[in-house]
Amino acid sequence: MSGSGGEPAPDQPSRASKILRRTKVGGSLAAAVAMVLYASSFPFGDELTLGLGLVITGWGVFEVRRMALFPTAACAPAAMAGSLVTAGLMMNRGVDAVGLLVAAAAGLAVAALVASAPGQGGERPSAALPALVILPVVALPLLFLYPLRIGGGTAALASFVGLAKVGDIAGYYFGNLLGRTHPFPRLSPGKTTEGCLASLIAGVLVAVLLTHLGLLGEPRLGWFSGVLFGAGVNMTAQAGDLYESSLKRRAGVKDSGTTFGPSGGMLDLVDSFLFAAPLAAFVGPLLYRWGA
């Protein structure tokens, strides 16, 4: 509730205090991510990246299960089985486009088979989605950080993470400060048109800068590689955020978890990677000269 004159009630934090609290938590998380990215520059960086992808995948699966979005009890182990198969094939078949497609297809096939195993019993949760709608987005995307590390190195991996998140940051602050119109009132009430545009502009500008600095590799199309990569990563990152918002709306929760306080749960942190990481893994080598 709000007090008179539109002021927040005494027991409700103001918008400024919410922004400040989230900024403090976000700063701590950014420092932790920076340490992980630094660790990925060591010789074991490839394995570390893939291992963290699996850990975060398991965390996300747990949150989806807790939100009662899986249609059967078999979907959680199915997601992990599919992700393990995909990870194993990525390591053994390489990270070229064909190898990634084979790995992802095999992982999805295994996940679908395990999820459809008979004899699970129990009622379907009212908020549940069909397995084939939710399994690919939960079980596979974080594993595509691995081919980014293999192909572009730590610099490209860190640049991708920064690109995916700089749009989040720009959208959040500009949306809170300047946002007036809400293009997705039912799906994501807090998202504004102004925030979405600020996010896209920030993503493109930062990608062009990173391309100029050579952190994404040698561009095949000059600065235009940065424009295309930045726009692609940003738009898919925003799509991932909207998708995760739709999951939370369906489950009737504000955040996917409470682990990170005002920043929510793990899915709230990595939602911008859900569609952006696979896109970057496939498009990156087309726009930059990455080694395999």
pLDDT in tens, 18-55: 666 667 666 777 788 889 888 889 999 999 999 999 99
- Predicted confidence band at 288 (pLDDT cuts at 50, 70, 90)? very high
Side chain identity, residue 1: M
Q: Which H, E and C letters describe the chain, residue by residue?
A: CECHHHCECCCCCCHHHHHHHHHHHHHHHHHHHHHHHHHCCCCCHHHHHHHHHHHHHHHHHHHHHHCCCCCCCCHHHHHHHHHHHHHHHHHHHCCCHHHHHHHHHHHHHHHHHHHCCCCCCCCCCCCCCCHHHHHHHHHCHHHHHHHHHHHHHHHHHHHHHHHHHHHHHHHHHHHHHHCCCCCCCCCCCCCCHHHHHHHHHHHHHHHHHHHHHCCCCEECCCHHHHHHHHHHHHHHHHHHHHHHHHHHHHHCCCCCCCCCHHHCCHHHHHHHHCCHHHHHHHHHHHHEECCC
Lowest-pLDDT range, 74-78, 123-127, 196-200?
Answer: 123-127
pLDDT at 182 over 50: yes
What pLDDT was estimated at residue 4?
40
Please state the pTM of the whole predicted model: 0.87
- Each residue's pLDDT tens digit, 130-159: 888 899 999 999 999 999 999 999 999 999
Average pLDDT over residues 86-106: 90
Q: What pLDDT band is residue 3 in, cutting at 50, 70 and 90?
A: very low
pLDDT for 126 beyond 90: no
**pLDDT value for 223:** 95
Average pLDDT, the chain: 87
Spatial separation of the C-alpha atoms in residues 119 and 128, rounded to whole Å: 18
- pLDDT for 143 equals 96
Q: Can you give the pLDDT at residue 140?
A: 94
The pLDDT of residue 5 is above 60: no
